[in-house]
Chains A and B, each alone.
Chain A
């Protein structure tokens, strides 16, 4: 890891890190820095330029934050893949059926007067509340 001209630069081996992991690392830094990436067949070259001038220790901390998130992302993807058969069995039916709302009250459906009484009740409550304003 090198600190050069107010930026920090380093290389990451390709088999270990993917482009998505680098994007996740960049996202973690948000607007605090710009991240520039170049690639060869075997490695990524990364340069992090802070939005405002930082001392060397802070630059290294920024790079550490980037690497933490990149590694976290890469490892999380492996965990997600490994557990996919279990989590898919839970999430697939949950999303497939959606979140069904409570059906309409059958009493209101069968007896229009009930619905009208309740609407009147609500109006009275609103009226009393407005009177407190």
Chain B
């Protein structure tokens, strides 16, 4: 079983004509990508011509030459530069730090903020996660103030996000006035009631598809009406059914964003994360993209891994950031995350944009490597990329991605 696609009658390929690439059949077209995230959408006939060797007089020649797909006109310097920029050699450190505030005391909060600021990287994001702001307010208030101060002292941009199920409008206003992005943890059930807003005013949403979530276009309009700027949709469950339902919902949701892209100010966080084309931009990627901290001050490789001792890097009171590199857990997570170490990923056209977090693999398949051919998480991410990349020859889609500052040129 494989999720990769293959041509029934592979065309004849001329040795030395094409630069290394992967392909994926998307409807009537063939998507080709190289390992640096460059891409082209071709018709079947164009792909045949490409494999057979394009003549410089062919109208396709300058297009594919500019994108680095012609072996005879390959820009080695450019490829080396892109490879370096996108490989882990350019990774500076985890940029996102998820603080799970349940049971967190002030002293642990202080130590965690100090630990976060020991991490290198041009900017840091601290995401505070809690159900209700009221019982956690002293810790939320302290982290918001202290992290801001640490950001000023270290002269690094700090982004603060408060993700909650509920909070009063007074507290939401306080967070807004202190530059904290509010993120509402929602469950989408049925069709939206346009007259009923979210529990609090938020810019971002982490929206899980609940029972019978329907009418994705109406939900997109609902998010827009209530002032959301970006949404990350989540499946109802991590199984084949959940992945299939999610992909269908996501496809229609994205269609709406693309069709109404000029007017809408709503962004899709999946597209933003994946099309960045860097392993450390992928949401939830253990160690590379994020670290997580629980209320007791333990450090985990990601939010997904939080609470699982197998993924614990140690207590924040004793752990030093450089020790993370020595941790067998972190090393295993890094090795397992790399698509070149995964049988299916290493052959996949989406390799430059996609990988599964090892902690998610552990949850689904029982080990950090996972089984991508049978993994619903793989089905889900490939489904997302299918929906986005099949629209890349649509000017509206490219305009929307440009508006979101995603460079797919």
- List residues of A whose CB falls within 8 A of some B CB: 24, 27-28, 30, 68-69, 72-73, 75-76, 79-80, 83, 86-87, 90-91, 93-95, 98-102, 105, 107, 118, 121-122, 125-126, 128-130, 132-133
Contact B366 A27 (CB under 8 A): yes
- Determine the chain A residues whose CB is within 8 A of the CB of B145 once the complex forms: 125
Q: Which residue of chain B has the shortest Cβ distance to A74 in the bound complex?
A: B343
- The reply to whether B110 and A101 form a contact with Cβ atoms under 8 Å apart is no
Q: In the assembled complex, which residues on chain A have CB atoms less than 8 Å from the CB atom of B343?
A: 72, 75-76, 79
Q: Which residues in B have their C-beta under 8 angstroms from that of A75? A: 343
- Which residues in B have some Cβ–Cβ distance to A below 8 Å? 87-89, 91, 93, 106, 110, 117-120, 137-139, 141-142, 145-146, 149, 153-154, 320-322, 324-326, 331, 334-335, 338, 340-343, 346, 365-367, 369, 371, 373-374
A98 to B88 alpha-carbon distance, docked (Å) = 13
B325 touching A98 by the CB < 8 A rule?
Answer: yes
Partner of A125, one of B142, B334, B342: B142
Contacts of A76 in B (CB 8 A): 341-343, 369
Contact A68:B374 (CB < 8 A) given known A100-B322, A125-B145, A132-B141: yes
| Residue in chain B with minimal CB distance to A32 | B366
Cross-interface CB contact of A99 among B110, B321, B340, B341, cutoff 8 Å: B321
Closest A residue, CB atoms, query B115: A101
Contact of A90 among B88, B146, B321 (CB under 8 A): B88
Q: Please, which residue of chain B has its CB at the minimum distance from the CB of A76? A: B343
Q: A27-B367, A76-B341, A118-B153 are in contact. Are A90 and B142 (CB under 8 A)?
A: no
What is the CB-to-nearest-CB distance from A63 to chain B, in angstroms, rounded to a whole number?
A: 15
Residues of A close to B138: CB separation below 8 A: 129-130, 132-133
Chain A residues, CB < 8 A from B320: 101
Contact between chains at A94 and B340 (CB < 8 Å): no
In the assembled complex, how far is the CB of residue B406 from the closest CB belonging to chain A, in whole angstroms? 24
